[in-house]
Amino acid sequence: MPAARSSQGLATSRARHLPEGPGELLRDRREEVYAALSEKNLVPRVLLQDSGTRVPLPDASVQLVVTSPPYPYVEMWDGLFEAALGMSPGTMSRDPSRLSEIHRHLARTWRECARLLQPGGILCVNIGDATRSVAGEFRLFPNHAHVVQTCEELGLVSLVPILWKKPTNKPNSFLGSGFAPPNAYVTLDCESILVFRKGGRRTIPPHDVLRAASQFSKVERDTWFSQVWTVRAARQDDGHATFPEEIPRRLIRMFSLLGDTVLDPFAGTGSTLRVARRLGRRPVGIECDPALVEPLRKELPERPPDLDEVLDALLSQYAAVRGP
């Protein structure tokens, strides 16, 4: 790769509005972007461990966390929580009183995320509430409220959450007693994407070329920064919930720069990690299931990506977006 250009043009682009995204800027200043990105650590890392235990990463070494934990009182995760907390099998289908205990278990991970985030770093948590009948009574388990309370107690600042509305093939589905009040229930068809910041706004050096090359277009801004997102859910993968890649793609573009480290403490099948790598960020994943970790390590070996491939992919994405 040729040596980077001089600082020509740095001052003029630092706050320039780019209605169609930074494609032209990236083409014009590719060598500068390449040189700046080559100084960043982009080596992927996948750790096999409980994300609630201390992660072998330095304090304040992560710029963005994007994750979706198991949802308490959603049946597919009952066994996981029962095993982790030493409950007898079937406890959660009989006992609705364990919600706070389960969220204290998850809080260990949010505490570790708070340690790892740099000042101004962002934590995004996709979590759904749960509805089910326990002991013959239908009820809601407000998982999002517990996560908000925990993260605020850890000193993180709540920002406006996103409501992820999942399209359904049964738009008129409802629960309860037909058309007669009062015993029908509102359908639960949204999940929360909670957004927290560690302290005040992140400080970025002026004239940062990676920030300039990380901008979003007007079309993207108007869509992504609206509170309700309609994104179709991904198919389940061998019994594991799969994060649709459009969700981390948006969040990573919205809240991080090229070269940043993006952490997923519940890596699962690796949607966030794959997207982060394609977007020129360093993916770090934590997963406690060895059956999931080994495929991820093969897919994301511990070596830096080809930066020309990364920049070519970004140019293709930017070119796909056009302003009004």
* pLDDT tens profile 153-178: 999 999 999 999 987 655 555 566 56
- What's the confidence (pLDDT) of residue 297? 96
Q: Residue 257 sits in a domain of what CATH number?
A: 3.40.50.150
Question: Which residues are within 8 A (CB) of 168 and not within 5 positions of it... i.e. 6 or more apart?
Answer: 189
pLDDT at 90: 92
**For position 318, what pLDDT does the model report?**
87
Q: Looking at 12-16, 82-86, 191-195, 286-290, which range is the least confident one?
A: 12-16
Domain count, the chain: 1
Q: pLDDT tens digits for 202-234?
A: 999 999 999 999 999 889 999 999 999 999 887
Tell which wins on pLDDT, 8 or 287: 287
Tell me if 31 is assigned to some domain. yes
CB 252 within 8 A of CB 317: no
Segments in the chain forming alpha helices (H)? 10-13, 23-28, 30-38, 78-84, 91-94, 99-116, 143-153, 209-212, 218-224, 246-255, 271-278, 290-299, 307-319
Average pLDDT, the chain: 89
pLDDT at 2 over 50: no
Q: Does any domain span residue 151?
A: yes
- 35: tokens are 């040189």
The pair of three-digit structure tokens given for residue 148, joined into one six-digit string = 């908000």
pLDDT of residue 12: 39
Coil, helix or strand for 273?
Answer: helix
- 218 part of a folded domain: yes
Domain presence at residue 2: no
Question: Which residue segment(s) compose the domain that 253 sits in?
Answer: 17-169+185-319
φ, ψ of residue 17 to 5 degrees: the values are -75, 125
**Is residue 82 scored above 60 in pLDDT?**
yes
pLDDT at 141 over 60: yes
Chain segment 7-25, per-residue pLDDT in tens: 344 333 344 556 677 899 9
Residue 176, in any domain of the structure:
no
Per-residue model confidence (pLDDT) at position 179: 74
In a domain? residue 8 = no
pLDDT at residue 323 above 80? no
Whether 159 and 192 have beta carbons less than 8 Å apart is answered as: no
Structure-block tokens of residue 49: 């461990």
Predicted local confidence at residue 317, as pLDDT: 86
Would you say residue 211 lies in a domain?
A: yes
- Angular region, 288: left φ>0, alpha ψ -120 to 50, beta rest: alpha
Q: What is the dihedral of CA 218, 224, 226, 231, to 10 degrees?
A: 140
DSSP 280-324: T-EEEEEES-HHHHHHHHHHS-SS---HHHHHHHHHHHHHT----
Would 175 be classed as within a structural domain? no
**Cα end-to-end distance, the chain, whole Å:** 36
